[in-house]
Amino acid sequence: MTQSDADAQDETESDLTLIREGRDFEQEYRLSAAEAGRFLVEIGEQLQESDELTITGDEWKLPFSFGEPVELEIEYEGYGEQELEIEVEIPGRTDETAPSVE
């Protein structure tokens, strides 16, 4: 990467809207199975390697410090138009400490 490419990338990242605590955000995508799979693999790698996720869209960036346990729900509708739904709920990490016992 050249210096001008690096500068352009830094400028682009700084132009992104940062999604912060205290704000709700939702974005929906319709992707090919291959693109959805790539995204899920990248999420899985971040879950395995760190305790923070960073998801970036064209105009936004969402950093998220997560805790345990992660909830995984699998739902299958087998009648009519079949559908498989996989839902992952990742709780936020808390910085709270336990109270003292005296």
25-48 per-position pLDDT tens digit: 999 999 999 999 999 999 999 999
Residue burial 61-85, b: 16+ Cβ < 10 Å; e: rest = ebeeeeeeeeeeeeeeeeeeeeeee
pLDDT digits (tens, 9 = 90+) for 87-102: 999 999 987 888 899 8
**Euclidean distance between CA atoms 59 and 43, whole angstroms:** 19
pLDDT in tens, 7-27: 545 545 678 999 988 889 999
Please give the DSSP secondary-structure letter assigned to residue 79: S
Bridge partners for 66 per DSSP: 92
